[in-house]
Structure 1
Amino acid sequence: MRDLAKHQGLRNQLVEVLMKKGITDKNVLQAIKTIPRHLFLDSSFENFAYQDTAFPIGAGQTISQPYTVAFQSQLLEVKRDDKVLEIGTGSGYQTAVLYGMGARVFSVERQNELYKKTSVLLPKLGIRARHLTFGDGYKGLPNFAPFDSIIVTAGAPFIPQPLMAQLKIGGRLVIPVGEEQQIMTLLIRKNETQFEKHEFGDFRFVPMLEDRN
């Protein structure tokens, strides 16, 4: 669990790469500069952890490339103490970035192997998510709603209605929508029934699965 000066240097370089790719949110950049991504990967990937690349993390899942993490996080426009629902805890890296941005994170993972691993790892790193759970991301966490924002870190064939219902008015839902390839989609809730929709180009995620619990 070492985080050395060389890792900090590589994070600084990664932040430069992300800025060149258009990431401007200082809150996002500071979190990525701070969070030790190499500790969320198998040790065999340690020397590559700060490349802008996705890597396998087990259970057929991946840790998203840093640009994708930064892009989704920037779309959320997180403010300190915002209540954020994350669908797809995965390695816990996106969880950690949200925590680093000052969010109160509630996260759902539907792969039990990853849920168990992340539940142990995050506290070891001093990252205190408000609630981690093993469950069906399509259902969200209605008992903790409404949320200031919701982030989905897997490709969804459609936007789940329960997630839309759990978003507070004025809240932002960021979700990659599509089958083989996804379009990054932002929904902003305008009132009880209306949502404003924005699309931000093609991305590729592992598919979002349901009813795994």
Structure 2
Amino acid sequence: MLEDTYKHKGMRNALVDSLQKKGIRDERVLAAMRKVPRHFFMDSAFVEHAYQDKAFAIGEGQTISQPYTVAFQSSLLELEEGDKVLEIGTGSGYQASILLELDTELVTIEYNRKLHLKATKLLTKLGYRATFLYGDGSKGAPNFAPYDKIIVTAGAPSVPEALLAQLKIGGILVIPVGNLTSQHMLKIVKEGERKIRKIDCGNFAFVQLRGDYGWGQ
């Protein structure tokens, strides 16, 4: 049974307060994170870890991202109500729930079938409506393109051209790019069909992006 108690809400508020102190300024993102019960996306045995600002393993070699990272990436997207967003790496579904709380039209794709099925079931149960896809996210989801915003929640060796092609002019792609242990968070603004502006937003560490334009199978 999914239960969100006063204790959970208190821990969640304390977590979000700590994110503000760490520099997260986007009020809509902070409000979404106050609302979404992160412990729903973790095994019940680890509920006490849900409101610590750290990543946590969710099985299948994947993690639920650190709350600060979720807030940071979400803020970089500069989301507006009604934005069509592509998320690459559904994972636990936690980042997706934050994006949906921000009134976006979400397409989310997951490479691992078990995680895809689990996240789809949970988010549907929680009343979220999105397009859930199973497949190679490094190729994007061209059937639903173009997108206002694209977020990649796994480390890539380079920026996949397929993702830039599926982004609207004026759109934003947020993607960690680097090696297998450390990546630079890039915010890429598509200013024209062949013109992009790239902003380096600091070092992070993600699990690797799988697929043809990631680190392979």
- Cα distance in 2, alignment partners of residues 143 and 48 from structure 1: 38
How large is the RMSD of aligned CA atoms in angstroms?
A: 1.1
Secondary structure of 2:207's match?
coil
| 1:145 corresponds to 2:145 | yes
The one-letter amino acid of 2:128's match is: I
Tell me what 1:111 maps to.
112
The one-letter amino acid of 1:28's match is: V
Deviation digits for residues 73-120 of structure 1, max 9, x if unmatched?
A: 000010111000000000000000000111111001000110010111
- Cα distance in 2, alignment partners of residues 105 and 23 from structure 1: 23
Tell me what 2:121 maps to.
120
Tell me what 1:168 maps to.
168
The one-letter amino acid of 1:183's match is: H
- Cα distance in 1, alignment partners of residues 176 and 41 from structure 2: 22
- Cα distance in 1, alignment partners of residues 136 and 49 from structure 2: 32
The one-letter amino acid of 1:103's match is: T
Tell me what 2:91 maps to.
90
The offset of 1:58, in angstroms, is 0.8
Deviation digits for residues 107-161 of structure 1, max 9, x if unmatched?
A: 01000110010111001111111x1110001110111111000000000000000
Secondary structure of 2:57's match?
strand
Tell me what 1:16 maps to.
17
- Cα distance in 1, alignment partners of residues 4 and 20 from structure 2: 23
Secondary structure of 2:192's match?
coil
Alignment of 1:1-213 (within 5 A): 1-129=2-130, 131-179=131-179, 180-210=181-211
Secondary structure of 1:190's match?
strand
The one-letter amino acid of 1:87's match is: I
The offset of 1:55, in angstroms, is 0.4
The offset of 1:202, in angstroms, is 0.6
What is the TM-score normalised by the length of structure 2?
A: 0.96
Matched residues, number: 212
The offset of 1:44, in angstroms, is 1.0
The one-letter amino acid of 1:159's match is: V
What are structure 1's unaligned runs of at least 5 residues? none
- Cα distance in 1, alignment partners of residues 141 and 210 from structure 2: 16
The offset of 1:37, in angstroms, is 0.3
Identical residues among aligned pairs (%): 55
The offset of 1:11, in angstroms, is 1.0
- Cα distance in 2, alignment partners of residues 81 and 10 from structure 1: 30
